[in-house]
Amino acid sequence: MKYVFLLLTLCSLRLSAQDKTVQGLRSESSRTISKNTSDTSKRAWKTGGTFNLNVNQGALSNWAAGGDKFSLSLTSLLNLYAHYKQGRHSWDNSLDLAYGMVNTTSLGQRKSDDRIDFVSKYGYELDNKKWYLSTLLNFRSQFAKGYAYPTDSTKVLTSNVMSPAYIVLSLGMDYKPVEGFSLFLSPITARWVIVQNDSLAAVGAFGVDSGKNVKMEVGAYASVNWSKNLTPTTSYKTRLELFSNYRHDPFNIDIFWTNIVAVKVTKLINMNLSVDLIYDNDVKTVKADGTAGGATAQIKELLGVGFVYKF
């Protein structure tokens, strides 16, 4: 009888322990998971980039129709971006690096593209949720010397590294009604034009005073950025910048406009068309005799098919 009583007691204790375990598990499962406000695992940063490399080559031998015996062109473009969005704060950064060369037997080696372009824009979202109080920084220059060719046999130095370089610092309002579009407006903007090359500075290139390397301008600034996928394989990206110098001919507006259309052929092959337009009254053309001419619109168009890598 004692053994029976002892066995019943042990079974009762075991059942009681199991009941407490089940209750504990139920309590844990019903507990609400609270989010740690300091947890930043939700990605506030969006980063990436694209690298394009276009190569074209041609060769002729005893070709009756004529032409260069050999030609080779190489164009590369690297685009990097880092965008931050957390609460009311946004910070957009982009860097474009481009360089291209053309080499032919008749004309030799010439530059076809050369660009350093960095833009950083911080914005604080207002109650409207489409308008941001923003500040913008832009730096634009190039990698190597640039020449104008009045004739096939002569060349004139027109630009160099940091000659020119443009630095824009602006405070204004940024309008973002939809993803991929922004309109930045600023009534107060400082722009520095830098010409480090002394020979270019001596002739007042790019609007600097003769013999000076830096010129500061104050004016109004506007910038439009728009990117859109036109089709599943075709994308379009444009950026337009306008600047009016308050202290010198404010109605003569400087224009910088760049456009890129990219068509995806395969995962690693793209066709790219880029068209850039620049107008700056302080940038003069070069005549056939090598002397400076008047200001005019500068247009650059590049079409190529090549390798693309996105990351």
Does residue 40 have a pLDDT over 80? no
In a domain, 103, yes or no: yes
Query: Mean pLDDT of all residues in the chain?
Result: 86
Q: What per-residue confidence (pLDDT) applies to 280?
A: 92
In a domain, 20, yes or no: no
Residue 136 and residue 119: Cα distance in Å, rounded? Answer: 7
In a domain, 27, yes or no: no
Does residue 283 have a pLDDT over 70? yes
pLDDT digits (tens, 9 = 90+) for 208-252: 999 999 999 999 999 999 999 999 999 999 999 999 999 988 999
Tokens 């020449």 sit on residue: 147
Instruction: Quote the DSSP letter at residue 35.
Output: P
Residue 235 and residue 274: Cα distance in Å, rounded? Answer: 12
In a domain, 3, yes or no: no
In a domain, 12, yes or no: no
Does residue 27 have a pLDDT over 50? yes
Burial environment of residue 295 by CB neighbours within 10 A (0 to 12, 13 to 18, 19 or more): middle
pLDDT digits (tens, 9 = 90+) for 113-146: 999 999 999 999 998 889 999 999 999 999 999 9
- Give the CATH number, domain containing residue 75: 2.40.230
Buried b / exposed e along 136-165 (16+ C-beta atoms within 10 A): bebbbbbeeebeeeeeeeebeebbbeebbb
Mean per-residue pLDDT for 83-101?
96
Residue type, 271: M
Residue 122 structural domain: 45-310
In a domain, 128, yes or no: yes
In a domain, 29, yes or no: no
Burial environment of residue 3 by CB neighbours within 10 A (0 to 12, 13 to 18, 19 or more): exposed
pLDDT digits (tens, 9 = 90+) for 69-81: 888 999 999 999 9
Residue 126 and residue 90: Cα distance in Å, rounded? Answer: 12
Q: What per-residue confidence (pLDDT) applies to 265?
A: 94
For 173, what's the count of Cα atoms within 13 Å in the CB-facing half-sphere? 8
Tokens 């593209």 sit on residue: 113
Number of domains in the chain: 1
In a domain, 59, yes or no: yes
Give the tokens for residue 91.
Answer: 């910070």
